[in-house]
Amino acid sequence: MLDALKNLGGLGNLGELMRSAKQMQEKMAGVQEELARKTVVADAGGGMVTATVNGKMELIKLRIDKTKVDPNDTELIEDLTVAAVRAAQGKAAEMMREEMARMAGGMGLPPGLLP
């Protein structure tokens, strides 16, 4: 019984661990809010279709340049739209990875620990 109580001596660090976890959670929420305000832009077809995505991976704007697109070629427009959105989402994902890596480094965490 006494040995079991001795093992509980490390619980004093539990409070500090909980505070650190809460701080990390608050920082993560702040970073996510900041990323939601940032946008990235990508285009396809030499600028025929341009997509804007925010840091939450949400498509917030899509532009089709009517001077460069044949309105009768809907298949091409559809393909270019998908390509532009995917490219913008890829840029947004990279922006998120970089921000998380920067945050992890600032907190003394090893690279790749945060999502």
| Prediction pTM value | 0.71
| DSSP letter for each residue of 48-86 | TEEEEEETTS-EEEEEE-TTTS-TT-HHHHHHHHHHHHH
DSSP 34: H
What is the CATH superfamily name and number for domain 13-106?
Nucleoid-associated protein YbaB-like domain (3.30.1310.10)
Residue 39 has which token pair? 């946008």
DSSP 48: T
- 51: phi then psi, degrees, rounded to nearest 5: -120, 140
Q: Tell me the pLDDT tens digit for each residue of 58-89.
A: 999 999 999 999 989 999 999 999 999 999 99
pLDDT at 3 over 60: no
DSSP 42: E
Q: What is the mean pLDDT of residues 31-42?
A: 90
